[in-house]
Amino acid sequence: MNISTSSQHYGLNFDNSYLSLPDVFYKAQDPAIVSNPKVELLNESLAKSLGLNVTLLKSHGAQYLVGNTMFEGSKPIAQAYAGHQFGGFNMLGDGRAILLGEHITPDKVRVDFQLKGAGRTPYSRSGDGRAALAPMLREYIISEAMHALGVPTTRSLAVTSTGEKVYREQGLKGAVLTRIAASHLRVGTFQFAAALQDVTQLKALADYTILRHFPAILDAENTYIALLNAVIVLQANLVAKWMQLGFIHGVMNTDNMSICGETIDYGPCAFMNAYHADTVFSSIDANGRYAFANQPNIAHWNLTRFAEALLPLFHESQEQGIEIAKACLDAFPQLFFSSWLAGMRKKLGLFNEETEDAQLVDDLLMYMQKNKADFTNTFVALSHDNIVEGALFQDAGFLNWYALWQARRTRQTEDTNQQLALMHANNPKIIPRNHLVEEALTAAEESGDMRLVHALLNAVENPYGECNADEKYSQPPSASFDQRYKTFCGT
């Protein structure tokens, strides 16, 4: 492993605070050396915001972005965690991801700098620790689209091909994703700590998490109860944003729920086209556990697992600890509903609140589902006060709803232009449509043609602005595409 002294030249300022935790939470692990790395995508705007040297990363960054050469100050590790995967508990860990360290930005913001697909680790089990090009490009595209949509998310700094094949059903081009995150602390990290049955280690993890992410609660009467409440609020708001955009995570295992409220681990995720509450695209979600409408329930379930892990820190009496946890968790449904409804009001141009607003939204979704209306484009049409052709806009029930909505809009002081401006700011014109994502990934994988990837990234970077992109980026696929479309976890 080559060690570089040029971290400062690249603008990197590494720290390794995670190593202050007991060493049971991680294992030292160097990335695997690869033969011929090449930077396929570099997120220049993100790099600049992190204070990194874009020119140097583009010209000489490939060896660093796959881990062939280490930045000075980096102490690479694989993190341990556990998780409920489709309801079943497993002891896990970073099976193909290596944390190089934490970069401290010029603004003193601490972010994780991780390589995904960087080779085997002590937690790989039977996996090879590698990643294929297409799934890494997919995470780059979707995570950057989510960022542009205003959703808290991990970010993608780069995708670097390795010059080597990875083998799944067939040989595929290998790649490494450089992922930036506020941290990689997960509900599953706390489940891992709880499974060790050592309160000292659990407390160390909780204290580290509070100091890193929630310093405002340090003066709380019980900081661990305050921690649970803070994470509940973050997750309620996060999933509400997903639901307002038609996003389906696809694999909401507890190891895929970030403590700091970022969307993490883009595997079999997708955006819904025709609205249906039970939409599932993931090939591994045969029973619809993580279907679109079930995401709030699963978030609540995952948070319950988080609370269970923290129980010893709530009260010396387990019985009282359980009562405390229940009281905290009972707040989640209303927190989620309030956040979701507030966002849906904005999508409909409503500034004030009326009791019947929830029913107004539910009725719209019901008519959308009945008529297989496109989720994104329906709200775009409404935000232009534009009744367009299509089954939904010919439905007598929907037309009655439309009249009720217009009447509702009159019962506020803001004028039509203000209402439409609110709708434009909350109804994206462009999302990363599944068929276009697959088209771009196929071109990159099969012929090395990155033009469609770049064009798609350009299209999704300003989803709420004036749409200057080709019309195809705002059009849904055929119904037959959606009916047969499946997403995969990419492992």
Active site residues: 255
Tell me the one-letter amino acid at 442.
T
From residue 404, how far is each of 320, 361, 397, 398 by CA, in Å? 48, 11, 11, 10
Q: Which of 156, 157, 187, 315 is nearest to 252 (CA)?
A: 187
For 194: left if phi > 0, alpha if psi spans -120 to 50, otherwise beta; the answer is alpha
Within 317-433, where are the H helices? 318-329, 332-347, 357-370, 375-383, 391-394, 396-410, 416-424
Within 52-152, where are the H helices? 54-60, 62-65, 133-148
Which two structure tokens, joined as six digits, stand for 71? 């930045």
Q: Which of 51, 65, 240, 50 is nearest to 136 (CA)?
A: 65
d(CA 228, CA 353): 29
Which two structure tokens, joined as six digits, stand for 43? 């997120």
d(CA 342, CA 414): 16
Q: Are strands 88-91 and 82-85 parallel, antiparallel or unpaired?
A: antiparallel
Q: Are strands 155-167 and 38-42 parallel, antiparallel or unpaired?
A: antiparallel
Would you list the DSSP string of 136-188? HHHHHHHHHHHHHTT--B-EEEEEEEEEEEEESSSEEEEEEEEEEES---BHH
Q: Which of 227, 357, 235 is nearest to 296 (CA)?
A: 235
Q: Which of 105, 85, 101, 103 is nearest to 93 (CA)?
A: 85
Which two structure tokens, joined as six digits, stand for 68? 């062939």
